[in-house]
Amino acid sequence: MRKAIMIIAAMLALFTGQAMAQRCLPGISAVEIKADMADGFYTGNSRDCGYSLGVFYSVYKGSANIWSFGGEYLQTYKPYGAKGRIPVAQFTGEVGYNLHLLSDYSQTFHLYGGVLALGGYETVNWGKSVLSDGSTLHDGDNFIYGGALTLEADFYLSDKIALTTNIKERFTFGSDVQIFHTQYGVGVKFIIE
């Protein structure tokens, strides 16, 4: 009896003050805002890369896996002439599934790998087929579809806010300009219950 009391006292002493966060439980949902660089590092006068902005709604399932639904705006540029560039914009709706790969003991860090399907619309030079120098642009506006492979890491600042980083390799069929886009960036995830 004395040994049992000593063991219980030792366990209480070891685990006092440690409380594990209740994160990524089934049924919890989140809203995430993302900003990414696309096809390189974008600056205001970059000639052959771009950026994207996205908003996603996520629902956690068993084993911390996530279903996500959202939309994204991707703006890229294609070099033209000596100093010019042609804007290419994509507006897409996306549905994805992220598989939980790794997390730390305190549930502060989570790593996910995922796939997603996307569909939307692409516009080249905002629908203008005549360029500023009088040349005719043969690439046009199209409906696009495709998917992406993603790798995402979440860093929880609190039970309700997480910073995210992500890498996405996106492929779109139906585009006259470019099929593959590599995106990387950051985001903020707000947990709602």
- Flag whether pLDDT at 81 surpasses 60: yes
> Which sequence spans correspond to the domains of the chain?
20-192
- Flag whether pLDDT at 18 surpasses 50: no
Q: What is the mean pLDDT of the chain?
A: 85
Residue 178 CA: distances (Å) to CA of 40, 137, 138, 174: 14, 15, 14, 9
Mean pLDDT across the stretch 91-97? 96
CA dist 70 and 144 (Å) reads 16
Q: Give me the pLDDT at residue 68, please.
A: 95
Band (17; pLDDT cuts 50, 70, 90): very low
Distance from the first to the final alpha carbon of the chain: 44
Band (112; pLDDT cuts 50, 70, 90): very high
Q: Give me the pLDDT at residue 1, please.
A: 67
Model confidence, pTM: 0.80
Chain-centroid distance of CA 49 in Å reads 18
Among residues of the chain, what percentage have pLDDT more than 90?
48
CATH class, 20-192 region = mainly beta
Band (58; pLDDT cuts 50, 70, 90): very high
Query: 142 or 18: whose pLDDT is higher?
Result: 142
Query: 41 or 51: whose pLDDT is higher?
Result: 51
